[in-house]
Amino acid sequence: MRLRTSGVLLHFSSLPSRYGIGDFGPEAHAFARLLARTGQTIWQFLPLNPTSPGIGNSPYSSPSAFAGNILFISPELLLEEGFVTQGDIDAANAETFFHHEGESATRVEYDRVHRQRDVLLRKAYDTSRGTLETDASFAAFVNDNRYWLEDYARFATIKGAHDGAEWTKWPEPLARRDASALAAWDAAEREAMQRERFCQYLFYRQWKKLRGISTKLGLRLVGDVPIYVTHDSADVWANTRLFKLDEAGLPTVVAGVPPDYFSPTGQRWGNPLYDWDAIAGDNFLWWTRRLMHNLAMFDCVRLDHFRGFAGYWEVPAEEETAMNGRWVEAPGYALFSALARRLVSMPIIAEDLGVITPDVRELQRALGFPGMAVLQFGFGGNLLENPHTPYMQHRSQVVYTGTHDNPPTRGWFAQNATPDEKAKLAAYTGSAVTEENVAATMMRLALASVADMAVIPAQDILNLDMASRMNTPSTTEGNWCWRLLPGQLSDDSMAWFMENTAFFGRHAGIRKEA
């Protein structure tokens, strides 16, 4: 029997909360129950790795591909589980000049939230450190995650002790990972490293609770894995031979994409590129560990920039834009074959947007990964040659009105859609399309699609405008900040979406646990 599903794209940072950013606490649990009550089966979100104000707070630029973002640790759950008191929370707020927000808090203030969480988590550690040596749960977490956790704890503490300097600017013995220097650091900074382990323990403890609730509700959690990692990260510092770096540890070539819909000069992401020969020499161990880590966390993974596993755009590091790059072949089939030998199944969505060549399609078909169709791209050019046009879509796809890189559909129609796209959209639907009704129109097209899965950004369900945009590619300011107001996404605001998911055969039914 064919299974048609639907759900919502909403990152955790965008949830309401009393503490400056959405987290894994009560509002996340409430949203999971809301999805279940309205017959949804999918909750998709962005990467959950640490973010940094120094690199734009992007979840796609992180100091670790394995660690969790401690900003998502819920103060309410820390209080509930006895790690902190209400007095501790109040003191952390006072120390960082943090005040509980009123109903006007629609943006994340990352600097403020980082300071507040740091003070609170230090208090939680001080409360717990005396019992950690005999805490079997903590010991099991550290043991199971040792392959990444130890180097992350080192990286975070060394970086903190050197005023946040990039690892290439640390004292050479530490930058070069001299064994005696690392041993001395481990001994001298034992307490600081243990605190980093403890924070990760809290993150994964709270995540496990939310995952359990979601599973009982019949939800599938769809995570996101960026293809590239940040140069100033524990991943690169601990595995320099797996990347194309010079003798000083700096990238010789960097990642990006050629000119496309989003940017006429391409996108120079700046991430170091993999030395695939070195990675293959390890039987793809680092990559298989990374993917298995994420597939254990989530029910399904969206693999960002999938085309980079067939061929990637290599830009000389000295170039200021991505225009003067070149395509280089990547060993995607060998990588996923190595992963398949260790897993029963690979529930992966291939983000196949952008410049897609026949080798990418061949790899995708060989692996059986569903791709993506984005309706905001579906009405440009020759519709018979446009894979995003509704009648060109197919079952093995996930259809979206837009992604986190697109404007909300209402904003797209008002500011980005061309007159030709608007005319084709109206002709396709056979009715007038306006700024007021375009989000509903596009959602209906997505739900009606033959694609087995339809995912709608929360902004489109709420018919929000450009002020709610999550990210504008090739910009570094003002992204990743949008948040819901308390009660904004509710049974009432989801009613139309629930009715239409049922009509188009995607309704999972209301689950009793909700």
Q: What are the residue numbers of the active site?
A: 304, 351, 405
Please give the DSSP secondary-structure letter assigned to residue 243.
B
Closest C-alpha to 14, from 447, 408, 410: 408
Please give the DSSP secondary-structure letter assigned to residue 309.
G
Cβ-Cβ contacts under 8 Å for 272 (sequence gap 6 or more) = 228, 229, 231, 236, 243, 244, 245, 251, 254, 255
Cβ-Cβ contacts under 8 Å for 510 (sequence gap 6 or more) = 36, 37, 38, 39
The end-to-end CA distance of the chain, in Å, is 26
Cα angle 356-358-359, degrees, rounded to a multiple of 5: 95
Please give the DSSP secondary-structure letter assigned to residue 273.
P
Residue 303 near residue 348, CB atoms below 8 Å: yes
Closest C-alpha to 17, from 468, 492, 485: 485
What is the Cα–Cα distance from 70 to 48, expressed in whole angstroms? Answer: 9
DSSP of 381-445, one letter per residue? Answer: S-GGG-TTSGGG--SSEEEES--TTSPPHHHIIIII--HHHHHHHHHHHTS---TTTHHHHHHHH
Q: Is 166 helix (H, G, I), strand (E, B) or coil?
A: coil
